Structure 1
């Protein structure tokens, strides 16, 4: 299982995902980035930042 807390990248955001794979987290984040943060074009740099903040949970 993988976990991502948006607040690790965007201070103050309380959204958290726990998914089977990193790809599932990234797919979920696309909608969240647009609706919660007004980010509609996710750059490669942002994807890398998110990937670095994803953790493995048991």
Structure 2
């Protein structure tokens, strides 16, 4: 299992995910970024930051 906390990339955000794979987390983060942060795409830099903050659980 993999886990990611949005606050590790976007200070102040309390959203968290636990998924089977990093790719599943990226799908959920993309949806969250659009609905909660107004981002229309997950840029390569942002995707890299997210991947770098994912931890095994």
Normalising by the smaller structure, the TM-score range is over 0.9
Which portions of structure 1, spanning 4 or more consecutive aligned residues, are displaced by more than 6 angstroms?
A: none
**Correspondence for 1:14:** 14
In 1, distance between residues paired with 2:41 and 2:25? Answer: 17
Give TM-score, length-normalised by structure 1: 0.94
Report the TM-score, using the length of structure 2 for normalisation: 0.96
Q: 2: CA distance between counterparts of 1:41 and 1:19?
A: 21
Structure 1 unmatched ranges of 5 or more? none
Report how many residues are paired. 57
1:5-58 superposed Cα distances (whole Å, 9 cap, x missing partner)? 00000001000000011011001111100110011121101100000000000x
Instruction: List alignment gaps of at least 5 residues for structure 2.
Output: none
RMSD: 0.6
